[in-house]
A and B are shown apart, each in its own frame.
Chain A
């Protein structure tokens, strides 16, 4: 069961790796499995190592001549690497299943590196077996020693010498087992998982991408604000002023019409105020500062044209940037659902999850619209960069015909 879970996380890590912004690096690190499980994994490593050695011996004997002959070499190599890949996959599964190693999904290793890994791993596995055998041998000797003591056939000096020697050997043996287990883990990480420097490089790439995305998102937002002001508020004000101008001009000609125009202008002035308030709210909801995320989301529900159900399960206070990002993710996702997906109901679930890896704010926005949201579209890209800027992940599931589910995870560290 656990193995299945690990594989799933591997797969999703692979999906995210292809996304650019919003991806999260899965490190080749180890979630400590339980001791018996690890022991079982180590023990299982011996037969797989034996398998590896046998594979090399057999393929060496059978394929050797073909490998040497240039015309058959490519084909022979293919057979060799196909077998090696299978064995390596076995090792990889062993590492994930018993040691909880998490490797990035589609990690393609060069054939040469794979063969080298398999060769080294096979021999270290065999050595592990031998050292383990020595431990067993030592245990038998210890039993004999105890037997001797019980029967009284052992002298005091001899017992002391045996204990001292046995203790040292036991120490060396255990040390060897420990070192070999560590070597096994390191070899696997080097082959299947990215190295430290590669992780660092990827992290830098990721940060560069998210920084660029943030700049872009901010620009896009500025443009939107400008549009809101110029194409909304300004037009309304011009229209209002025009109404007043017309009223003034018709004051002498037709006082009745002037009155009607003034009335219209008054109504228009109120509309401008409402629009201005709306624009300001879209720029930044002041409730977020004074009343917190829950209240601000309530404001979204009020403004929303479709019924919006919000479940808010966050006990403590949240960091300000997380609150702001969460607010905009929800508000834009809800707007999208109402505008593009023609949804008739939207539900939002905000929850704060605990460790491991620090508290995580999860936003889940579901609608019953027609789906088919384009993950590369400007709206979702903007949301993704917002989330990525906080090292979060955004997942969109929107099959054609709906429904759409949007999940954002924001780390609150």
Chain B
């Protein structure tokens, strides 16, 4: 796949470029700041943009703002943002327009090379990749908000993996369940969370995340 990178730490940027190249991807550009990112994406039209949230000049959220803009202007481009730590509102801003072709990973996850590559792949294929840590925190924070408390431990496990953006088949693999068991658990979860069945697959993730955030 064709990837564009925006990451201010030279060390990390170079490492990412090497890693992606080794894995057979094409890095069309590697930028040190978010200023020209949107324009470059417009010009190069990569498949996925990997964007660090915190970049110069203010080191706050310029990467995220650029990512949101890319998502608005080129919905077919996947966006994977990297964050220093879990920021619920950042995740919410990123997901506000839907959970297709989007990822939110903690920077440390990049070090788990497989997980990073896997997330990149999922974003490229049109899915979502939410950092397990983000999901875990959201779930923990929402347990007092009642409906979640009604889930059984297994249902909660399934929900957590689902929220990270995995497909039913992947969930089944990860939790060593049959596909039909996963579907059964998910139906139970959606029932308990009072989510309408008519929603499409990726809508479910969005719905879950939004629900958890509320």
Contact = CB atoms under 8 A, between A and B. Distances in A.
Nearest to B108: A238
A369 B188 CA distance: 71
Interface string B3-22: 00000110110011011001
Contact of B113 (A236, A237, A240, A245): A245
A243 interface: yes
Contacts of A241: 108, 110-112
B22 A245 contact: no
Nearest to A268: B11
A235 B107 CA distance: 8
16 contacts: A231-B8, A234-B107, A235-B12, A235-B107, A236-B11, A238-B110, A239-B11, A241-B111, A242-B110, A244-B111, A245-B111, A245-B113, A245-B114, A246-B113, A248-B113, A249-B22
Q: Which 10 A-B pairs have the closest CB atoms?
A: A241-B111, A245-B113, A235-B9, A239-B11, A242-B15, A239-B15, A238-B111, A235-B12, A230-B84, A239-B12
Interface string A48-83: 000000000000000000000000000000000000
Contacts of B203: none
B113 A242 contact: yes
A233 to B, nearest CB: 11
B25 interface: no
B185 to A, nearest CB: 32
Interface string A233-271: 011111111111110111000000000000000000000
B88 interface: no
A239 B11 CA distance: 7
A244 B114 CA distance: 12
Contacts of A236: 11
A201 interface: no
A240 B59 CA distance: 22
B9 A242 contact: no
B174 to A, nearest CB: 20
Interface string B105-138: 0011011111000000000000000000000000
Contacts, number: 55
A162 B15 CA distance: 108
B84 A246 contact: no
B84 A242 contact: no
A123 to B, nearest CB: 66
A81 B110 CA distance: 78
B9 A243 contact: no
B59 A231 contact: yes
A202 interface: no
A242 B22 contact: no
Contacts of A186: none
Contacts of A244: 111
A338 B84 CA distance: 30
Interface of B: 8-9, 11-12, 15-16, 18-19, 22, 54, 59, 84, 107-108, 110-114
A250 B19 contact: no
Interface centre among B8, B54, B59, B113 (most CB of A within 10 A): B113
B113 A227 contact: no
Contact of B9 (A231, A240, A248): A231
Contacts of A235: 9, 11-12, 107
A227 to B, nearest CB: 7
Interface centre among A230, A239, A246 (most CB of B within 10 A): A239
Contacts of B54: 230-231
A271 B154 CA distance: 44
Contacts of B84: 230, 234
Given A231-B9, A235-B9, A242 B16 contact: yes
Nearest to B109: A238
Contacts of B112: 241, 245
Given A238-B110, A242-B111, A250 B22 contact: yes
A250 B15 CA distance: 14
A244 B113 CA distance: 9
Nearest to A271: B11
B50 to A, nearest CB: 13
Contacts of A240: 111
Contacts of B113: 242, 245-246, 248-249
A238 B11 CA distance: 9
A250 B107 CA distance: 22
A244 B15 CA distance: 11
B11 A246 contact: no
Nearest to A254: B22
Nearest to B107: A238
Contacts of B111: 237-238, 240-242, 244-245
Given A238-B107, A238-B111, A243 B15 contact: yes
B108 A227 contact: no
Contacts of B16: 242
Contacts of B114: 245, 249
Contacts of A250: 22
B59 to A, nearest CB: 7
Nearest to B9: A235
Contacts of B12: 235, 238-239, 242
Nearest to B115: A245
Contacts of A248: 113
Contacts of A242: 12, 15-16, 19, 110-111, 113
Given A227-B59, A230-B54, A241-B108, 6 more contacts: A236-B11, A238-B108, A239-B12, A245-B19, A245-B114, A250-B22
